[in-house]
Amino acid sequence: MLAILRDRAYRHLFAAQVIALVGTGLATVALGLLAYDIAGADAGSVLGTALAIKMVAYVVIAPAVGAVAGRLPRRALMVAADLTRAGVALFLPFVDQVWQVYVLVFLLQSASAAFTPTFQAVLPDVLPKERDYTQALSMSRLAYDLESLFSPALAAALLSVVTYNWLFTGTVLGFLGSAALVVSAVLPKPAAAPPARPGGAYARATAGTRLFLALPQLRALLALNLAVAAASAMVTVNSVVYVRDFLGLPTGAVPLALGAYGAGSMAVALLLPRVLDRVPDRTVMVRGALLLTVVFAGLGAVTAAGSGSWRLPALLLVWAAFGAACSMVLTPTGRLIRRSAPAEQRTAAFAAQFSLSHGCWLLTYPLAGWVGAEAGLQTAVGCLGGIALVSSLLAVRLWRVPAAALEHEHRNLHAGHPHLADATRVGAGWRHSHMAYGDALHAAHS
């Protein structure tokens, strides 16, 4: 997998992603301490609102960026987003009002909503070979998981010698380092210039969403996103409740639970490049979603147990299984979008995925917290597990594989197009048959 780091452009982009993630992780820790300084016992409420603002920024801003990103230099857009994030982080240590935190968090996450989909859309052009691109997706998954483990540890080490305000300095340096690495990367030109779209700004902003709704496998991806959001919300929101209240363990055991989730995700991310060489994306992603429902059932059994020393190992196993199943769905997502979206719509498609997936989290995060607090953990498990089950079954229904090769005709592809290698010229088009279809080339036949 590390062989793809020999590609200079990808190596610089990957390093930019890692450094920016570490900076974001330091900011997350520092924001929690800042919220406590400002709001005291209400810090949890402040952070919960800030998290909701983050998700709103992702849902609203990403499609708007997707509408214009195809017409802007991609390097300039990513660098501008990094510089914006660095500038916002520079101001965070000086705020003394809750509303100021909310405004700066919105600006920070809006810049992230511009950077991330553009970064994701650039990778297929940097790594045109599918095997290399698959390995890059696994590397990105590993980067996210390692950040969740490394950043809190780094923050703890820094807090032993400096005050938390200095963590924001680390955030600023991370984003500036990311910008410098993006500038140093030689990016290929987009595979195709985006054609002029009919309609106004709204039509351009919703182009990616309309592509998702037009293709069966992308409609299924929406359902898969919701299943993953149900599981990840359970882990993110209720890990501290399980560790402190359910198991009666000290706060220091919370990172252990979150680490188990990350370990499961990383293990699958390391294995998937070889698996995806032999197994279709649909098989891996759908089975991952269905596995989530099994894990929820296991969590229900652990939650129903009254006592026993076995409950901690069982919870860690369940959390690791959640991480593994989520990684089975999330890691191949970029491959699916790359195959489904025409090159000129790729940025809009990644922006739509970014927005719609975070829309799912915007639903499940407060649901996990509210149901768990008001009705108990067992009810929360049943509620979120039910969402995962229904979403998984819906994905299976939406993303069907043809039982036999279907003959069809293409009229909008030029004679040298790679997809027409086995096609026969018929009048004004080209005719052939195959089982795997449903991407943007075959939307009319879906």
CATH number at 172 reads 1.20.1250.20
Quick check: is 115 in a domain?
yes
Q: How far is residue 423's CA from residue 24's CA, in Å, rounded to a whole number?
A: 49
Give 43's DSSP letter: H
- Residue 271 CA to residue 151 CA, distance in Å, equals 24
Q: Do 241 and 369 meet the contact criterion of CB atoms below 8 Å apart? A: no
Domain end among 141, 158, 190:
190
Q: What is the pLDDT of residue 302?
A: 92
> How far is the C-alpha of 285 from the C-alpha of 274, rounded, in Å?
15
For residues 181 and 315, state if they share a domain: no
Residue 205 near residue 67 (C-beta atoms within 8 A):
yes
| Token pair listed for 29 | 């820790």
With respect to residue 199, please indicate whether it lies within any of the assigned structural domains: no
The residues that bridge with 434 in the sheet, in sequence order, are 406
Put simply, whether the predicted model's pTM sits higher than 0.85 gets the answer: no
**Identity of the residue numbered 398:** L
**Are both 257 and 140 inside the same structural domain?**
no
Find the range with the poorest average confidence among 213-227, 333-347, 370-384: 333-347
Residue 142 and residue 7 share a domain = yes
How crowded is the C-beta side of 420, counted as CA atoms within 13 Å? 15
Euclidean distance between CA atoms 442 and 106, whole angstroms: 39
Q: Let me know whether 290 and 185 are in one domain.
A: no
- 196 part of a folded domain: no
Query: Looking at the DSSP assignment, which residues form a beta bridge with residue 433?
Result: 407
Whether residue 253 is contained in a domain is answered as yes
Contact 324, 265 (CB under 8 A): yes
Quickly count: other Cβ atoms within 10 Å of residue 437's Cβ: 18
Question: Is 70 within a domain?
Answer: yes
More confident residue, 384 or 69: 384
| Predicted local confidence at residue 12, as pLDDT | 92
Say whether both 100 and 144 belong to one domain.
yes
CA distance 26 to 20: 10
Instruction: Examine residue 197 and state whether it is found in any structural domain, yes or no.
Output: no
- Is the predicted pLDDT of residue 298 greater than 90, yes or no? yes
Among 55, 54, 61, residue whose Cα is nearest residue 77:
61
pLDDT tens sequence across 119-133: 888 888 888 887 888
In a domain, 15, yes or no: yes
pLDDT above 70 coverage of the chain, percent: 84
8 Å CB contact between 351 and 110? no
In this prediction, residue 86 carries a pLDDT of 94
**In a shared domain, residues 295 and 325:** yes
Residue 147 has pLDDT above 70, yes or no: yes
- Percentage of the chain exceeding pLDDT 90: 25
26 pLDDT tier (thresholds 50, 70, 90): confident
Does the pLDDT of residue 423 top 80, yes or no?
no
Q: What's the confidence (pLDDT) of residue 193? A: 47
CB 303 within 8 A of CB 208: no
Residue at which a domain ends, from 155, 190, 225:
190
Tell me, yes or no, whether 231 and 342 share the same domain: yes
Per the prediction, the chain carries an average pLDDT of 82
Please count the structural domains in the chain: 3
Residue 417: predicted pLDDT: 60
- pLDDT at residue 24 tops 80: yes
260-274, 372-386, 430-444: least confident range:
430-444
CB neighbours (10 Å) of residue 393? 16
Q: Which of 190, 214, 235 is the last residue of a domain?
A: 190
Tens of pLDDT, residues 103-117: 988 998 889 888 888
Q: Which residues pair with 430 in a beta bridge?
A: 410, 425
Mean per-residue pLDDT, 35-63: 75
Interhelix angle 8-39/98-126, nearest 10 degrees:
170
The pLDDT, as a whole number, for residue 308 is 74
Based on the fold, state whether residues 169 and 247 are members of the same structural domain.
Answer: no
pLDDT in the model for residue 130: 76
More confident residue, 309 or 76: 76
Burial class (CB in 10 A: 0-12, 13-18, 19+), 296: buried
- Cα separation values, 9 from 4, 136, 139, 362, 376, Å: 10, 12, 15, 34, 49
pLDDT at 259: 81
Give, as one character, the DSSP assignment of residue 242.
I
Average confidence (pLDDT) over 323-334: 93
Q: Looking at the domain assignment, is residue 377 inside a domain?
A: yes
266 and 183 fall within a common domain: no
Q: Contact at 8 Å (CB) between 382 and 371? A: no
Structural domain harbouring 367 = 206-401
Over range 160-182, report the average pLDDT: 89
Q: Residues 291, 318: one domain?
A: yes
Average pLDDT over residues 226-235: 93
Whether residues 411 and 393 share a domain: the answer is: no
pLDDT band at 394 (very low <50, low <70, confident <90, very high): very high
Whether residue 115 sits in one domain with residue 74: yes
Of 178, 175, 180, 177, nearest in space to 88 by CA:
175
Give the total residue count for the chain.
446
**pLDDT attached to residue 381:** 95
- Quick one: pLDDT at residue 228? 96
Show contacts of 39-45: CB within 8 Å, 24+ apart.
39/98
